[in-house]
């Protein structure tokens, strides 16, 4: 279910300086690293991360890639990302809306997107755009929330979509031309406190498909 009033730009501009700490409460390096292992990316790959934020996924890919590009629409998140990755010249960042990525067709061996899709105005189009920049044989690896009913997250975190049914992800992957599609539970949950400080644990899927 979408909320058309949501614009996450203001939210991420405000939290950019604290995102690394906020994020560490939501989901773990172990979840990220399990998704990366499952995708079996060959060493020396050229990899993109869409909705990269401050570069959480890119950190996990540093030893597998010769070139990494993080795309995000938020200049403030990218400012933090650039500072985080100052020692790594192989990592570049581009400010871009996810449905209009400034990249050639067939450019990347893998494209990752962690917790970006539930902010995308049109998730199916966002998936097609990520597939466009993948090389034939390249892998799309999306980690995001399964469907949930935590409506307060729209206001509190600017979430546009309350997760996704896995059958929709399957259909969007197929329609974008991906095959060998595997959608499974990620190794971990998204944990946060609800409006009454109650502990909430949301399930996360990892969806991998090959172009």
Ligand X SMILES: C[S@@+](CC[C@H](N)C(=O)[O-])C[C@H]1O[C@@H](n2cnc3c(N)ncnc32)[C@H](O)[C@@H]1O
For ligand X, the binding residues (CB under 6 A) are 8, 12, 23, 51-53, 56-57, 72-74, 77, 97-98, 114-116, 119-120
Give alpha helix (H) positions in 85-198.
Answer: 123-132, 152-157, 166-175
CA angle 71, 55, 162 (to 5 degrees): 75
* Separation between Cα atoms, residue 110 and residue 133, nearest integer Å: 9
Nearer residue to ligand X within complex by CB, 6 or 45: 6
* Separation between Cα atoms, residue 119 and residue 159, nearest integer Å: 6
Q: How far is the CB of 194 from ligand X (least distance, A)?
A: 17
- Nearest partner of 61 among 81, 43, 74, 79, judged by Cα: 43
CB neighbours of 63 closer than 8 A, spacing ≥ 6?
A: none
Q: How far is the CB of 135 from ligand X (least distance, A)?
A: 21
Q: How far is the CB of 26 from ligand X (least distance, A)?
A: 8
Q: How far is the CB of 161 from ligand X (least distance, A)?
A: 11
């Amino acid at each position: 279910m979408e909320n058309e009033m949501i614009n996450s730009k203001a939210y991420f501009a405000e939290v950019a300086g604290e995102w690394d700490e906020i994020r560490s409460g939501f989901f773990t390096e172990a979840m990220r690293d399990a998704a990366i292992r499952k995708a079996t990316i060959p060493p020396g790959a050229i990899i993109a991360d869409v909705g990269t934020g401050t570069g959480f996924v890119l950190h996990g890919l540093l030893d597998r890639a010769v070139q990494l590009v993080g795309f995000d629409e938020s200049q403030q998140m990218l400012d933090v990302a650039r500072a985080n990755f100052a020692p790594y010249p192989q990592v570049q960042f581009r400010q871009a809306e996810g449905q209009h990525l400034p990249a050639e067709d067939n450019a990347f061996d893998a494209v990752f997107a962690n917790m970006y899709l539930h902010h995308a105005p049109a998730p199916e189009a966002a998936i097609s755009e990520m597939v466009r920049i993948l090389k034939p044989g390249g892998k799309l690896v999306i980690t995001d929330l399964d469907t949930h009913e935590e409506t307060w997250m729209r206001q509190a975190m600017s979430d546009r979509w309350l997760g996704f049914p896995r059958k929709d992800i399957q259909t969007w992957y197929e329609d974008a031309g991906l095959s060998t599609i595997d959608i499974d539970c990620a190794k971990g949950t998204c944990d946060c406190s609800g409006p009454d400080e109650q502990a909430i644990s949301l399930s996360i899927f990892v969806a991998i498909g090959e172009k």
